[in-house]
Amino acid sequence: MRDEVNARLDQLLPDSDHHPASLHEAMRYSLLGSGKRVRPLLCVLVSEAADGAGRSFALDAGCAVEMVHTASLILDDLPCMDDAGMRRGRPTTHREFGQATSILASVGLLNRAFGVISEQHDIAPAIRSRALEVLSEAVGSNGMIAGQEIDLHERRKYDHATPIESVNWLKTGVLFVASAHIGALAADLRPEIIGSVNDFARHVGLAFQTADDLIDRMGDAQSIGKDVGQDADIPTLASISGTQSARLSCEDNLRQAHNALNESGLHPAGLTALVDSIFGASLGSGA
């Protein structure tokens, strides 16, 4: 399915020679580099768990969320933020295209994301409108953007786990939930099922960020394809509570995700396989 997502992402962006070529080349470089594609996969797999209802919309909407995610990575990597040199196994966008074009590429991807969803006319207008609302809420000043601002200017003051988990939720969890929520909207699921789906995605997102913090603390840049040690002087669950406690937090979130998925009543195989592929079968199964 990742190949399907990658092919659709390619189709949804302007060609690299489309004027201005430097901008569109930067957008494509950032988006089409190797990536896990967790967010679009999550969106599509929620639809598939509901017997494939609304799958076409879920695929394109999931690609839109991936555009938002990539736009955020471009900004995160800038010298004024994390000053990263490597992303997805190659130089970060600003190292390749310069800071100005990188910022414009980020804005271009963010704008294109909302355009992709707006262009979907094979879905009920109310569902399309609600999907746009969900994504806007996740990205905005009460969501992902807020998480980055807090991460840059407040996080260093934190000395216990609770506010760190709140930042993890804003930086990572909100887009996981938005992806799953939009997939559930595409399938026209009942509100109580959407609630369980969102709980599942929230716990997976929190586990994902905790695992990412552990990788930053102990991983190898060449093997994972991005800079490590970026958070060496920033409080994380791993640095505040220790790596063992952070692992236990990750496992607990995955158990709660597994329970929420069971409560949803959806076919769990695809979503469980996705979690297993990210964290390993022993964690993804909720064991």
Q: Which residues of 78-92 are buried (b: 16+ CB within 10 A; e: fewer)?
A: beeebebebbbeeeb
Residues near 256 by beta carbon (within 8 Å), at least 6 away in sequence: 199, 203
What is the CATH code for 2-284? 1.10.600.10
- Considering only CA atoms, which of 222, 270, 208, 277 is closest in space to residue 69? 208
**Four-point Cα dihedral 115, 116, 117, 118, nearest 10:** 40
Distance CA 219, CA 227 (A): 9
Residue listed under structure tokens 């399915």:
1
pTM: 0.91
Q: What is the DSSP string of 118-135?
A: HT--SS-HHHHHHHHHHH
The answer to whether the beta carbons of residues 43 and 180 sit under 8 Å apart is yes
Q: Tokens for 189? A: 């699921």
Domain boundaries defined on the chain: 2-284
CA–CA distance, 38 with 172 (Å, rounded to integer): 11
Exposure string (b/e) for 196-211, b if CB count within 10 Å is 16 or more?
bbbbbbbbbbbbbbbb
Per-residue pLDDT of the chain (287 residues; tens, 9 = 90+): 999 999 999 999 999 999 999 999 999 999 999 889 999 999 999 999 999 999 999 999 999 999 999 999 999 999 999 899 999 889 999 999 999 999 999 999 999 999 999 999 999 999 999 999 999 999 999 999 999 999 888 888 887 888 888 888 898 899 999 999 999 999 999 999 999 999 999 999 999 988 888 887 765 555 555 555 565 567 887 888 788 888 998 999 999 999 999 999 999 999 999 999 998 743 443 33
Are 206 and 164 contacting, i.e. CB atoms less than 8 angstroms apart? no
